[in-house]
């Protein structure tokens, strides 16, 4: 795309993009001037040599400037390497210090853990000793209790033996008393029989609630219900109609010659 000069209202020349679609108008007058100038240079070799020397000098200067520009960054590179080395050294030193601090902290922690473990072991041993003492005391107490129980058991055995003996004695006494009572009853029956044979009461007269008794030997007796007649027992009832007196011995006293 070519640029085309134009004039604005302020008479200032500016360049604006030239549209390729527009027709390009070449200034043949300008090209003709350039050709004339070239012809003049060709006609003057001295000027050409001077121009070449100047051009070589300019190129040399440019090359020197470029070399200087390329050599200057080498110094900062060296300084950066030294900085990196210093940073690495500082990092290593910091890392070593951190490792030392960590090792010191781990050492302190291990010491604390060892102390705690030793304390726990000591407390555990004390607890074990206390438990053993308690176990010993408990065993002694149980032994004492067993001994007391054995003594009580022995005493109970003695008491049981004594109770057995007393029970046997009581049974013997009861048997003896029963035998004595039986003997006494038999003797009493015999005595009553003898007495009744001697007395042999009969009813002489009777009224409701009272009776008059008399024996063959002339003994007389007046009785009411509840009275006791020797050899006959207690009077249970008096029947005035039949003239009979019922006694607790089972004998019934009636009128003369009718005793049962």
The residues pairing with 233 across neighbouring beta strands, listed in sequence order, are: 229
- pLDDT in the model for residue 137: 92
- DSSP line for 179-220: HHHHHHHHHHHHHHHHHHHHH--EEEEEETTEEEEE-TTS-E
- pLDDT in the model for residue 183: 85
The residues pairing with 239 across neighbouring beta strands, listed in sequence order, are: 244
Q: 234: burial class by Cβ within 10 Å (0-12, 13-18, 19+)?
A: middle
pLDDT tens, 181-214? 888 878 877 776 666 666 688 898 999 989 998 8
- pLDDT in the model for residue 251: 86
| Nearest-angstrom CA–CA distance, 211 and 203 | 7
Q: Which of 13-22, 39-48, 104-113, 151-160 has the lowest mean pLDDT?
A: 13-22
Q: Which residue has the tokens 């007058």?
A: 29
Q: For the chain, what is the radius of gyration of the CA atoms?
A: 82
- Phi, psi at residue 229, to the nearest 5°? -110, 125
Q: 140: burial class by Cβ within 10 Å (0-12, 13-18, 19+)?
A: exposed
Binning pLDDT at 50, 70 and 90, where does residue 36 land?
low
The residues pairing with 255 across neighbouring beta strands, listed in sequence order, are: 203
| CA distances for 178 relative to 116, 170, 189, 192, 249, angstroms | 88, 12, 16, 20, 20
pLDDT tens, 157-188? 999 999 998 989 889 988 988 888 888 878 87
- pLDDT in the model for residue 78: 58
Residue with the larger pLDDT of the pair 220 and 42: 220
- pLDDT in the model for residue 30: 52
- Phi, psi at residue 241, to the nearest 5°? -75, -45
**Which residues have C-beta within 8 Å of that of residue 204, sequence separation ≥ 6?**
212, 213, 214, 220, 256
Mean local confidence (pLDDT), 45-69: 73
Q: Which residue has the tokens 């003695």?
A: 158
| Nearest-angstrom CA–CA distance, 2 and 19 | 8
- pLDDT in the model for residue 224: 93
**Which residues have C-beta within 8 Å of that of residue 1, sequence separation ≥ 6?**
17, 18, 19, 20
Binning pLDDT at 50, 70 and 90, where does residue 63 land?
confident
| Nearest-angstrom CA–CA distance, 10 and 236 | 181
234 within 8 A of 228, measured Cβ to Cβ? yes
CB atoms under 10 Å from CB of 238, counted, come to 22
| Nearest-angstrom CA–CA distance, 89 and 95 | 10
Structural domain boundaries in the chain: 200-260
Mean local confidence (pLDDT), 5-14: 48
What the block records as the tokens of 94 is 């910091």
pLDDT tens, 232-241? 889 999 998 8
Verdict on whether the full-model pTM lies above 0.75: no
């Amino acid at each position: 795309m070519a640029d085309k000069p134009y004039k604005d209202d302020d008479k200032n020349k500016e360049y604006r993009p030239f549209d390729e679609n527009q027709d390009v108008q070449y200034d043949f007058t300008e090209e003709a001037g350039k050709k004339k100038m070239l012809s003049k240079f060709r006609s003057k070799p001295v000027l050409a040599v001077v121009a070449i020397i100047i051009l070589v000098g300019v190129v040399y200067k440019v090359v020197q400037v470029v070399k200087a520009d390329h050599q200057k960054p080498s110094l900062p590179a060296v300084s950066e390497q030294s900085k990196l080395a210093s940073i690495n050294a500082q990092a290593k030193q910091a890392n070593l210090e951190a490792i030392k601090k960590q090792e010191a902290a781990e050492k302190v922690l291990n010491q604390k853990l060892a102390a705690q473990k030793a304390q726990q072991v000591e407390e555990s041993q004390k607890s074990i000793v206390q438990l053993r003492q308690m176990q010993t005391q408990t065993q002694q107490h149980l032994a004492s209790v067993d001994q007391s129980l054995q003594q009580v058991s022995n005493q109970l055995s003695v008491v049981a033996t004594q109770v057995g003996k007393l029970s046997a004695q009581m049974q013997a006494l009861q048997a003896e008393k029963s035998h004595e009572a039986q003997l006494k009853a038999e003797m009493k029956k015999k005595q009553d029989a003898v007495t009744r044979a001697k007395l042999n009461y009969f009813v002489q007269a009777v009224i409701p609630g009272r009776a008059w008794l008399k024996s063959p030997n002339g003994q007389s007796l007046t009785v009411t219900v509840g009275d006791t007649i020797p050899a006959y027992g207690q009077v249970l009832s008096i029947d005035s109609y039949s003239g009979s007196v019922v006694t607790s011995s089972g004998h019934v006293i009636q009128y003369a010659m009718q005793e049962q």
